[in-house]
A and B are shown apart, each in its own frame.
Chain A
């Protein structure tokens, strides 16, 4: 989950309007299994607002070369301060995702641009995964995964 894969998150407003934002990496805390996902604040305004209201968050992780895709959901998401090492994690994530996409024909400027965000704008949402689903395309898509496996 913390490797160079594609990450996108979603929540929803009180009237059922979905919000969405691309994530810039994540951290899984050993022991607590708490997942912290990083975003550019200026891109995540709706998502941050919706999470602040409901705590609900869904994050989809996908490995572009293999299409392996997993979605993790929680209902206790909240904004947390960045921890020590998170800026380095985001930087490492960008490089890892770039390495993943270069063989697929993407260029470095392209990937760096859509993952670009000043460090000062990075924010984190932390949540406890309550459910996870296999979303790899195919008949098994949507099947629940046993957490911790």
Chain B
């Protein structure tokens, strides 16, 4: 049987593999491999960085032999391969490119190592080389039972916000992952926004990154997990994004008004798409100050968790569509006391400011403005997710849009801001608007 786990460990490890090939005239060539990636039981990919002798040989004679040493057991393997094709775009290429950037940075080879392509090989045979081995150390954690324990809590979550809490708490408790966040995709704007995080100085809820940017953006765009074992500035978030936004003007400045919460000096990062019906609904992202913190097994576990979270989000959506119509409760008209707070809404980007403080924009901003208008005009305090979904004023990009995630974002921003407006859950898919100060609503460009 193919030692899948061992091969993945070898390709993840710190001992470079050795590739031997033969030219058309039979002259052998031996070279060190920069990076290999396990794809499936029949395939692996090797990085193509230079048009070297190995490259010339496999184009003339597709057979290659890859020598590997297991990083824990010292068991040697020879993997007999046949070159199939080279990919220069797509998930395999992008995940190898990110990984290689980390390796290059770690080994002082930035600027030298550049991925030209991912050479896809068929695995013909794996040979276990006879020789001495050492016993592999017992794993510090049983990944499968940690996955089970973490997963068991998820379906009990009544809503999106508690689901994300259960996920991030579970990662800390069962996988000892201290720095994690979830970003959701805003498909209309090709951006991801943070809805939940753990282990950072500020939550960063509401912070945004463009699709395709860094490990999270690439994972979402390519729909593939991206795992970097040594960090590289090439995939870092931070100052460059902010400076770019400053040059583009105020609209983009708001996107960086809430800083991305990531570690300043991460060693390892892993971004896993949360699958939706078509495109990913978001990305689960974890990081650590240590190099080589996340293994292939961690990636497996996070993919399993993200898959379940994606399924539960779809379930929430289905429940919303099938749910009972709630009657808008009129309730007691609220009469808060105190000096009124000016609340401004800019329709161009649906940004909402409480006093002078920027709070939120986009769909979540549009939801808040709708709630406040109804509260002021009709004295309403009770709302349901379902009515918001159907409300044309909310301007959801399309019916499949993730309203749940927008509400999580809005709820958290209001809570973190200790705003005079808060949302309180009153049941599944229902909430109450609590306003403890008179508001002066001002639409800044009502004609727009």
Contacts and interface: CB of A to CB of B under 8 A. Distances in A.
Interface string A19-63: 111100000000000000000101100000000001011111010
B84 interface: no
A22 B20 CA distance: 11
Interface in B41-78: 49-50, 52-53, 61, 63-65, 67, 69, 72, 74, 76, 78
Contacts of A138: 112
B34 interface: yes
Interface residues of B, number: 38
Given A43-B131, A113-B74, A114-B69, A8 B22 contact: no
Given A18-B20, A43-B76, A43-B129, A58 B63 contact: no
A114 B76 contact: yes
A43 to B, nearest CB: 5
A81 interface: no
B419 interface: no
Contacts of A11: 28
Interface string B95-129: 00000000000010100110000000000000001
Contact of A18 (B63, B69, B112, B132): B63
Nearest to A11: B28
Contacts of B52: 135, 141-142
A62 B131 CA distance: 22
Given A113-B132, A137-B34, A138-B112, A10 B76 contact: no
B384 interface: no
Interface residues of A, number: 43
A148 interface: no
A52 B29 CA distance: 17
A71 B129 CA distance: 23
Contacts of B32: 60, 62, 69, 135
B390 interface: no
Interface of A: 8-12, 14, 16-22, 40, 42-43, 54, 56-60, 62, 67, 69, 71, 73, 75, 104-105, 109-110, 113-114, 116-117, 133, 135, 137-139, 141-142
Given A58-B27, A135-B52, 5 more contacts: A9-B30, A10-B21, A12-B28, A137-B113, A138-B112
28 contacts: A8-B30, A10-B20, A10-B28, A12-B22, A12-B26, A12-B28, A16-B22, A16-B63, A20-B30, A20-B65, A22-B18, A42-B131, A57-B28, A58-B28, A60-B31, A67-B107, A71-B30, A71-B31, A73-B28, A110-B74, A113-B74, A113-B134, A114-B131, A116-B131, A133-B53, A135-B52, A137-B113, A139-B50
